[in-house]
Chain A
Amino acid sequence: DAKTTQPNSMESNEEEPVHLPCNHSTISGTDYIHWYRQLPSQGPEYVIHGLTSNVNNRMASLAIAEDRKSSTLILHRATLRDAAVYYCILRSWTGNQFYFGTGTSLTVIP
Chain B
Amino acid sequence: IAGITQAPTSQILAAGRRMTLRCTQDMRHNAMYWYRQDLGLGLRLIHYSNTAGTTGKGEVPDGYSVSRANTDDFPLTLASAVPSQTSVYFCASRLEAGGPTDTQYFGPGTRLTVL
* Cα A42 to Cα B108 with chains together (Å): 5
Please, what's the 1-or-0 string for A42-86, where 1 marks a CB less than 8 Å from any CB in chain B? 111110010000000000000000000000000000000000000
For B, the interface residue count at a CB cutoff of 8 angstroms equals: 27
Q: Which residues of B contact A94 (CB under 8 A)?
A: 98
Say yes or no: B42 contacts A102, CB within 8 Å.
yes
Please, what's the 1-or-0 string for A7-40, where 1 marks a CB less than 8 Å from any CB in chain B? 0000000000000000000000011101010000
* Cα A98 to Cα B101 with chains together (Å): 12
Return B55 CB to nearest CB of chain A, in Å.
13
Say yes or no: A98 contacts B31, CB within 8 Å.
no
Please, what's the 1-or-0 string for B90-115, where 1 marks a CB less than 8 Å from any CB in chain A? 10100001111101111111000000
Say yes or no: B43 contacts A100, CB within 8 Å.
yes
Q: Which residues of B contact A31 (CB under 8 A)?
A: 100
Q: Which residues of A contact B40 (CB under 8 A)?
A: 102
Q: Which residues of A contact B42 (CB under 8 A)?
A: 87, 100-103
Say yes or no: A45 contacts B106, CB within 8 Å.
yes
Say yes or no: A43 contacts B108, CB within 8 Å.
yes
Beyond the given pairs A43-B92, A43-B109, A91-B101, 18 more chain A to chain B contacts, judged by CB atoms under 8 angstroms and listed by A's residue number, are A32-B100, A34-B103, A41-B109, A44-B43, A44-B90, A44-B92, A44-B106, A45-B106, A46-B103, A93-B99, A94-B98, A96-B31, A96-B48, A96-B97, A96-B98, A98-B45, A100-B44, A102-B42
